[in-house]
Structure formats: structure tokens, C-alpha cells
Chains A and B, each alone.
Chain A
Amino acid sequence: MWADEAYRRLLGALALLVPVVAALVLYETARGAGPSLRVFGWGFLVSTDWDPVAERFGALPYLYGTLVSSAIAMALAVPFGIGSAVFLAELAPPRLGAVVSFVIDLLASIPSIVYGIWGLFVLAPWLRSAAEPWLTAHVGFLPLFQGFPFGIGMLNAGIVLAIMVVPTVVSISREILLATPRSLREAALALGSTRAEAIAVAVDAARPGILGAAILALGRALGETMAVTMVIGNTNRISASLLAPGATMASVIANEFAEATGKLYLSALVEIALVLFALTVVVNALARLLVVATTGGRRDVAGAA
């Protein structure tokens, strides 16, 4: 049938469009980064200089800021998100579960600038006057919690990011858990396991999907721009302390692109975008490998990963 064939080709072309757009983006970014790539080479990735006056550019502070703020976000969001998802899917009365997950989906649709304003005007004063002084007083022996607490910085950015990505973790993990067969829990209970052990069996079966949820959340955290820019403090200094200000790759592009003059400066900013692109690909690939490694490639149920 010619119609079948036409339909197949049309859908095929639509599906091809996505990789074509991705390839075009990569090509244009690489082309824009050309001058900077030629001048700085691989040194761009390890240099801590970002000096628009002297036209010396290096991405390390931003690479570091992106990874650290995302790591804080994941450390907070993943345990919290999985815990909430298990409660909503396994323990909560169905009606409560539906209401709470509606609210969580609502959280995911709040524009990021709103989170940024909240981070700046609500979270920052609280961190400055309560949480950070407590941290420096009690765990200040760790280099992570040293320095004067000003409320904005890496910790604030990480917390804001965590709140922004929690809905992704919760709603996907909950869907995956709901999709695991009841028979798994029933079999576990029939074998004499406790309620907790039966839930653990279900969670284990849903593990590839839950990891997939965490990867999606990480992707959002790596690329988030507006909210992070407002609360991270925007300095290109690398500091071991989470209380110190920093900057991310997305935030430096957002901050400096509009007023950047000079070809090399612009090109260095485009190269930052290229590095962010590459980082996203690497992180996603690593996460996928992790899924395969931890599940031995099995795709029992709802293998979303």
C-alpha cells in the first residue's frame, strides 16, 4: 500500500528531525567556539583564569561550579524524592497519593525565576542567620563549611536546584513503582517477608526506572540557569567551602553574553556552551552505564532507563 509507505516515511522523517537538530546545534556551537578552541586548546578546561580584560579564558571554575551545585542538588533530591515516591506509591491512601502527586507536578511547572527569587529573599536570609552559622559552629572543622556565611553561594544554589528537581524524581519514581506488578509484593509477603521487605522487593524491581528519573533530574540541574544565577554569587573563584560563592557554566553564559565584546570573548562563551553540551552527554552516558552495571542489563518492569 502506498499510503502505508508514505506514512512510514513521514514518521521516519519526523523522527530523524531530532538527531538532525541536535547535530546542527553541535555543529554551530563548535563553529562558534572555533577561535577560542584554537587559542586555548585543551588548556581551556583546566585554566582558572576568566579575565575578559586580558582576554584569557578558562572554564574550570564554571565546570567545577556546575558539577558541585548539581552534586549538592542530587544528594538532597534523590533520597528525599525516592522516599516520597515510595510513600506515595506503597503506603499512602490512594486518594492522598493522588492529591500529593498533583501538587508535586504543580511544583515542576513553576518558572525557575520564581525559585530564584525565593532563594534570594527567603532562603538566603535563613541560611545567613540560622543554618550556615550552625554549620560553621558544629561542622566547621570540615573545609566544606568554612568561611563567613553570607547566605548566597554554592549551598544556596544546591538547595534551590534540589527543590527544582525533586518533582521530577518523585513523579517518575512513583509512576514506575505503581507499574511494578502486584504479584511481586504478594509473592514476597507469601514467603513470609515483612511489609518493608516486600516494598524493598518492589523498589528493587523498579530500580532501572528510578535511576532513569535521577538522570533526568541531573540533566535539569546541570543546565538550570536563571535560579542558580540569582543565588550562587557569581564569582569565578574555586573554593572548597560550600558557603562560598561560585558560578556555573549556564550562569556565566547568561550573565556575560549580551555585553560581551570582542570575537575571542564571545567565542570563549560559546565554547563554555560546547563544554556544557559535552558534559551533559558524558554524564548521561555514565548514568546509563551505571544503570546497566547495577541491573546487569535486565529490564524487568517499566525499564525506563
Chain B
Amino acid sequence: MTMRNAFARRFAAALLPAALAAGAAVPAAAQSLTGAGATFPYPIYSKWFDMYGEKTGVRINYQSIGSGAGIQQVRAGTVDFGASDAALSNDRLREMPRRVVHFPTVAGAVVLAYHLPGTSKPLQLTPEVIAAIYLGKITTWNDRRVAAANPGVELPAAPILAVHRADGSGTTNIFTSYLSAISAEWKDLVGANTSVSWPSGVGGKGNEGVAGLVRQTPGAIGYVELAYAKQNRLPVALVRNRAGRFVAPSLASTTAAAAGSAAALAKDVRTPIVNAAGPDAWPIAGLTFLLVYQDQKDPAKAKALADFIAWAIHEGQSVAEALDYARLPEAVVKVNEASLRTLTAAGRPVIAGR
């Protein structure tokens, strides 16, 4: 590291006059960047920062303090980038001092884990049933609407305990965005956010809190991240997607959801990818974002940051599956490439058109 630093400094010193003369192309010497925000993508981000640091010497410090706190740090200008599981609404964007660009990095899925003793076939749920359960309108498992989606399954007469996340979370944002997309009543009554006013059920803290309640309460159903459900081997429900097929949650079906929303994402990358088109799309999916100011103050940092993002959306994707994240489909990578070209530092483009 010290050797590389020394070399980089000498290299920079040699180039500096030329660079100044050219008025651009600041050398990417051993930079350090700071970021803060979402906890959901923290495992893959820290892996990326390690890999990227080894490859280029760029040090990235990231604090996973939660999306909301990360957004505040971006607003205060104390970090070079923020990270959030929920895209900023127009209101939130207006609170920002300058224009903020969203870069989706990976996709995640939210799944419904349940606890029904005595049933062996995976539970099948329609969008209407999920909304009615969380609205408190279906209260027992042997309700005919649940039974209609599960032919040949003997459902118990047990009461349903709908479990949600008590702490504000991107997982809740994805799930409530989905409910808002498929149920007009939910959209009017509750809406979508990282925390909402739940009409029924109980809250558990974190994925582990929700999973703990589901596991020990017969008749409970709750939503958790796909990665968490996979690692803990929770039974999860199949959900009928927009194409009318019951699909199982997986990394592939999550990527398919992002691909199915590509046209809308090209117009506005903040569009939720829930209830996406496509026969294999898992309907309860979401992207997680890096938040970056469009006009950067420090050209050298801006270049380092843009290079990192370009690396993360291309080479970085190869480690996604191993860490239980769904990779970005090609169409979304293209959207990111276009966004990268809009970044400027002191009025000049950070990345030359390529």
C-alpha cells in the first residue's frame, strides 16, 4: 500500500503539469471515498469495496447506518455517496441541495414465510389474498379465498397472524409498494413506505424478529428478505404474478422482475419493479440504490466514484449470486451507463462518452 501510494504520488507529480495544461483528466491516485446508508446491501457492498480496493487502491469506507440516516448524510454533504433501499420520492429529492442521481446496484426479493402445521404442499397465494390478509379482511386460514388458490390442500381453521417489520426498512418499502400496486384499497388506506400505519397484525424487529414470530406461532405469515429465508430454510409461499402464474421466489425470478420493468426504468430508474411483467417474474422485488450528486465538487473523487460504479454494475455483478443478491439485467445496466454519463464535476463530464 505504501509503495503503491509513493508510486502514485510520483506518478501524479509527473503528470500534474500536463493534466493542468489539458484542464481535465485528473489522475485517479489512491483515493478514498466515504458512503453511508442501507444495511440490506451491506454484505455485497463490503465485498465490492474489498475487491475494488485490492484492484485499484481506492479505499471506500461505508457505514451501514440505515437508508434514512444515509439519505440525511447525503443531504448534509458529509459523505461522497449514500445508499438506500427505497428510491427518493419527489418530495425527498426537493429537500436535497442539488440534483441526486440514483444508481441501482443489485435487486432483492421479499418473500412470504408461513407456519402452517400439517400442510406439506407449498402454500399458493394470489395478490388479492395477500392484500386481504394484511388489511385484516381474511382472518382464518380456511377462508374460501385462500382455499380457492390452494386446490386439494386441507387448510386449518386457525386464525392468521400477519407479521410485519416493526423497524423502518427497505423490505417493508418493497412489500408495501407491491400491495399498493395490486390493491387500490391498500394504496388509499395505507400506501408504500419504509414504515407504514399497519391496519392489522403484529410487528417484529428485523428479518430475524419477523422470522422468529412466524416460526413459533402456528398460523403466522410474515414477509422477509429472500436471502434470509433461503439461509434459514423457511417455508415460503408461491405467489401468482402478473402473467397469472404461481412462481417461486428465486434470484433468477427477481432478475426477471427487473428485466420485465426495463422500459419503465429507462424512463425513471426509481420506478418500483413490483408486479412486473414477464412469465417468470417474481412480483415482490425491488432494487437498492447508490445516491450520488449529479454535479460533483471534487473532480478526482468524482472520477473515482464513477469508475467504481461502472465496475460494480459490470464486473461486480459476478459475486451477486454467491451472496444471495439478484444481479441487474442487461437493460438496467444500460440505464446506469446512461446515468453515469450525466455526472459532472465542476461543470465537466466525469466520464467521457464511451
Residues of chain A having any CB pair with chain B under 8 Å = 49-54, 120-121, 124-125, 128, 148, 150-153, 229-230, 233-236, 245, 247, 251, 254-263, 266
Contacts A255-B195, A261-B194 aside, 17 further interface pairs with beta carbons under 8 A come to A53-B197, A120-B209, A153-B202, A234-B166, A234-B204, A235-B201, A247-B166, A255-B205, A258-B69, A258-B167, A259-B67, A259-B68, A259-B195, A260-B68, A260-B168, A261-B67, A266-B68
Cβ-defined contact, B202 with A255, below 8 A: no
* A121:B194 contact, CB within 8 angstroms: no
- Contact partner of B198 (CB less than 8 A), chosen from A153, A235, A251, A258, is A235
The CA-CA distance from A254 to B205 in the complex, in Å, is 10
**Cα of A205 to Cα of B209 in the assembled complex, Å:** 47
Q: Which of B65, B161, B197, B201 has the most CB of A within 10 A?
A: B197
Cβ of B122 under 8 Å from chain A: no
Which residues from chain A contact B6 at a C-beta distance below 8 Å?
Answer: none
Interface of B toward A, CB cutoff 8 Å: 65-69, 71-72, 86, 88, 91-92, 95, 159, 161, 166-170, 190-198, 201-205, 209, 212-213, 216-217
- A49-B197, A52-B193, A255-B168 known; A150-B209 Cβ under 8 A: no
A229 partner residues in chain B, CB cutoff 8 A: 166, 205
Contact A245 to B191, CB < 8 A, known contacts A52-B197, A259-B66, A261-B68: no
Cα A53 to Cα B173 with chains together (Å): 11
CB distance from A248 to the nearest CB of B (A): 11
Interface of B is mostly: loop
Whether the Cβ atoms of B159 and A236 lie closer than 8 Å is no
Q: Collect the chain B residues with CB atoms within 8 Å of residue A235's CB.
A: 198, 201-203
Residue contact B68 to A245, C-beta cutoff 8 Å: no
| Cβ–Cβ contact A261 & B217, under 8 A | no
With contacts A230-B209, A234-B203 known, is A51 near B161, CB below 8 A? no
Residues of B within 8 A of A148 (CB): 159
Report B-chain residues with C-beta under 8 Å of the C-beta of A124.
216
Q: Looking at the complex, which one of B66, B91, B196 makes contact with A52 (CB distance below 8 Å)?
A: B196
A151-B217 CB under 8 A given contacts A235-B202, A245-B202: yes
Docked-complex contact B212 and A120, CB < 8 angstroms = yes
- Set of chain A residues within 8 Å of B65, measured between Cβ atoms: 258
Q: A53 to B191, Cβ gap below 8 A?
A: yes
With A and B bound together, what is the CA distance between A236 and B197 in angstroms?
Answer: 7
Q: List 24 A-B contacts (CB under 8 A).
A: A53-B191, A54-B191, A120-B212, A148-B159, A150-B202, A152-B202, A153-B202, A229-B205, A230-B209, A233-B203, A234-B202, A234-B203, A235-B201, A255-B166, A256-B168, A257-B68, A258-B65, A258-B68, A258-B69, A258-B168, A259-B68, A259-B167, A260-B68, A262-B95
CA distance A216 to B159 in the complex (A): 40
A153 contact set on B, CB distance < 8 A: 202
Q: Which of B67, B95, B159, B203 contacts A245 (CB 8 A)?
A: B203
In the complex, residue of chain A having the shortest beta-carbon distance to the beta carbon of B199: A237
In the complex, which residues of chain A have a beta carbon less than 8 angstroms from the beta carbon of B71?
261
**Is B216 touching A234 in the complex (CB atoms < 8 A)?**
no
| List of A residues within 8 angstroms of B217 by Cβ | 128, 150-151
